[in-house]
Amino acid sequence: MPTFMNDPTMPTPSFPGSHMVVDDHYVFISGLTVGDLSNGHAVKGDVKEETRLVMRALSRMLEMEGGSLADIVRVDIHLTDLHAIQDMDTVYAEYFEPGRYPARTCTESPNLYGGSSIEITVMAKRPHQSAQ
pLDDT band, very low/low/confident/very high, at 53 (cuts 50, 70, 90): very high
Q: How many domains does the chain have?
A: 1
pLDDT in tens, 58-111: 999 999 999 999 999 999 999 999 999 999 999 999 999 999 999 999 999 999
- Note the Cα 126 to chain centre separation in Å: 15
In a domain, 112, yes or no: yes
Identify whether 85 is part of a domain: yes
Domain of 52 in residue numbering reads as 17-125
pLDDT at residue 131, rounded to an integer: 47
Q: Is the pLDDT of residue 112 over 70?
A: yes
CATH of the domain at 85: 3.30.1330.40
Check the CA dihedral 94-34-29-119 and report its sign.
Answer: negative
**Structural domain contains residue 2:** no
Confidence check: pLDDT of 132 > 60: no
Q: Which of 2-16, 36-50, 91-105 tops mean pLDDT?
A: 91-105
Radius of gyration from C-alpha coordinates of the chain? 14
Q: Three-class SS string for the chain?
A: CCEEECCCCCCCCCCCCCCEEECCCEEEEEEECHHHCCCCHHHCCCHHHHHHHHHHHHHHHHHHCCCCHHHEEEEEEEECCHHHHHHHHHHHHHHCCCCCCCEEEEEECCCCHHHCCEEEEEEEECCCCCCC
